[in-house]
Structure 1
């Protein structure tokens, strides 16, 4: 079955279900700290354990999605997410919550592995990635605005993750038993002597893929180190009220929407290297600006600009990883490596801020982003010698918010 015949919407829905957990991380961590006998640091550790479970599942399935079968693997992952997150939402026992979070994280990682493997086999992986980002941004934005009105406690965000997995389950019937490009007939024919070519044993573009997989944890860590403490920056350092900080994040939702749709509008016009390299450098400036904010103007400028740029660069990075291997192995590995950075981000930001203050934290994170901008741009330049990714968002795509706002009260409790 060709990649063109695979409907993109089930893959985008799986992408949304798999990526929702890290998007809701600040709200989830804050609710864990507020609703359970946990300190902010301990709650952050639970969030990190969740994302480590997700990353571990991704690494485990990087080259095995085709063997397990796309439909079966997706259903197993969704079932783990429903059982894990649902079970954690229904109990107040800390050990059970931790176990459920890790189990649910493994389910999210499994679902994400299936999604990115299928996206990599598409004719236009960047476009489907952008659709998935639109979906997860819309859902995360709606949940972050709705959760504060659903009462206190840790159950609401975890239940939302479980219900999302349950809602996506019917779409797995649209998945093939094996993903396009992964079927047995698509594998390389045996070489003379009965041995298969080496290309079947390891993913192509090994050096580029390894560079991308090594740099993505650092890129993701810097984003989520700021993400995890942004609420505290606004409240403690910029001396803003909770309602004002919430308004800033609400505006950032609209900016994030512009970023996601802007990535679709730009498409291949400037290749991949310029959006990734220049975008990462600009994000470094936003991180430094937001972390050093002492008033409304600087705080709003940093947070809104960051949310504008983040989804643009992320969509190109995911598309770049997908372009390196049509079987999706690099996409899964890079996504799992990114989850490691996401897991460590909030705790890293909290420790840096406690050690030297928010401005120094921002400077350190910005310097790290500038350092990794060079290797990821080099990978994009080399990959750009081939066919660039094409991103075309239909004009009638639903307007959705993007990642950048969350429950302000929960953010206070984030690590």
Structure 2
């Protein structure tokens, strides 16, 4: 069974195990600050080191999944994640915690790399990405609601990530070897769509940086500027995570109906407004509105960005590289938000982040429009007002890369059905005026005998 026909659930399990660390980063860093003799900056640095290690795994392994094998690589990543996070959870030695977090981050990045490669080979990568985001969002919400009830300590979030890695281990048995990707004679295995892929990777780095700059200081905004209690801030975050689940479900329902350009570009513009609103909040209503609306939109846009990256390369290399670029932005986000908030204040920080999102919204939407857009497959053509000839020309240009391969898209290819036409044969000119079998069969005229 090739990876293109393998069920997506093993990939969803790997995706969940790999992404959970970034979703639990706020509570992980907060508990490192209170459970160990670390300052807030030092605890944040450990979180950044974890995410940087995860991103490094993606950059190093992006082109090696097919060579090593997804099952072997996934098991190694899950084992490293479980061992690293587990050691950091049970130890109170700062060097051991740092080493465990870095090792666990590399394991998480390895699992995410295998998952992204497999998702890119799925017939509908957007649907598989949406399922992964839905799974990790739901699990993170459960952890956020459960961990505070189990008591203090830095080890609980780390133990939850290690346990998730162990629970995902059985899913690796369902991973199939990837289908070989052939190229035309004289072709190479170079990355397709290099310019759009680089724009997408750079754009999502800045996009993730803005998201996590706000996420890293949202608690401080609620406590210091909106004058909320810690319990109220926690309730707002819990509701926001629940709203994020609705956003993921909404992304799955929308699917390719709106294309990719509108959700990516328009969603990014709306997120910029939510960030500015949350950062300038001075009361509970404004703060809750901004945070909840932001968490609804964030997973919708992220699912389309991940689906777009998966569609650029059947081997999943762009999906891995774009995901690693997103991890880099996630790692630098909390530090960027803290610096901006300290030097300029929360409202100015929100304005800067919102302006940055507006700047990257246009190139991201352009890549989605001209590289992705509504998926077209070989042998199919959608009727648009631009006309079939222009559409066929656009399809021919987009498939002129090495090997003539077309990225996987979200709709199944429709079979081409031949329609027979029963056209009566014209009589042979030599048959006129002769007798016998070749005589014309036309009805006699009025003057005929």
TM-score, L = length of structure 2: 0.83
Q: Residues 281 and 197 from structure 1, CA distance in 2 versus in 1: closer, same or farther, beyond 3 angstroms?
A: same
Matched, 1:236 2:231: no
Aligned to 2:206: 218
Per-residue deviation, 1:2: 3.9
Q: Deviations over 1:50-96 (max 9, x none)?
A: 00000000000111110010000000100110111011111111111
Q: Deviations over 1:261-311 (max 9, x none)?
A: 110111111100000000000000000000010001110110010001000
Q: Whose Rg is larger?
A: 2
Aligned to 2:175: 175
Q: Residues 150 and 69 from structure 1, CA distance in 2 versus in 1: closer, same or farther, beyond 3 angstroms?
A: same
Aligned to 1:346: 334
2:183 alignment partner, one of 188, 201, 219: 188
Whether the aligned pair in 1 keeps the contact of 2:309 and 2:319 (CA below 8 Å) is yes
* Whole-Å separation in 1 of the counterparts to 2:295 and 2:210: 14
Per-residue deviation, 1:4: 4.5
Per-residue deviation, 1:3: 4.2
Aligned to 2:62: 62
1:256 alignment partner, one of 229, 244, 251: 244
* Whole-Å separation in 2 of the counterparts to 1:156 and 1:20: 13
Per-residue deviation, 1:188: 2.3
Matched, 1:161 2:161: yes
Whether the aligned pair in 1 keeps the contact of 2:130 and 2:303 (CA below 8 Å) is yes
Q: After the TM superposition, which residues 323-342 of structure 1 pair with which residues of structure 2 at under 5 Å, given as runs? A: 323-342=311-330
Q: Deviations over 1:328-348 (max 9, x none)?
A: 000000000000000011111
Aligned to 2:152: 152
Matched, 1:379 2:367: yes
CA-based RMSD of the aligned residues comes to 1.4
The count of residues paired between Structure 1 and Structure 2 equals 380
Which protein, 1 or 2, shows the higher relative CO under an 8 Å CA cutoff with sep ≥ 6? Answer: 1
Q: Deviations over 1:343-398 (max 9, x none)?
A: 01111111111111111111111010000001101100112356265499xxxxxx
* Whole-Å separation in 1 of the counterparts to 2:371 and 2:348: 35
- Normalized per residue, the structure richer in helix is 1
Matched, 1:303 2:291: yes
Per-residue deviation, 1:5: 2.3
Q: Partner of 1:5: helix, strand, or coil? A: coil
* Whole-Å separation in 1 of the counterparts to 2:255 and 2:149: 38
Whether the aligned pair in 2 keeps the contact of 1:127 and 1:391 (CA below 8 Å) is no
Whether the aligned pair in 2 keeps the contact of 1:265 and 1:391 (CA below 8 Å) is no
* Whole-Å separation in 2 of the counterparts to 1:249 and 1:385: 33
TM-score, L = length of structure 1: 0.89
Whether the aligned pair in 2 keeps the contact of 1:263 and 1:391 (CA below 8 Å) is no
Whether the aligned pair in 2 keeps the contact of 1:3 and 1:123 (CA below 8 Å) is no
Mark the runs of 5 or more structure 2 residues left unpaired by the alignment: 377-408, 413-449
Q: Deviations over 1:82-125 (max 9, x none)?
A: 11101111111111100110000000000000000000000000
Mark the runs of 5 or more structure 1 residues left unpaired by the alignment: 393-415
Per-residue deviation, 1:156: 0.4
Matched, 1:121 2:121: yes
* Whole-Å separation in 1 of the counterparts to 2:49 and 2:143: 22
Whether the aligned pair in 2 keeps the contact of 1:266 and 1:391 (CA below 8 Å) is no
Q: Deviations over 1:228-281 (max 9, x none)?
A: 111111111000112221222222123212111110111111100000000000
Matched, 1:141 2:141: yes
* Whole-Å separation in 1 of the counterparts to 2:260 and 2:39: 42
* Whole-Å separation in 1 of the counterparts to 2:155 and 2:90: 7
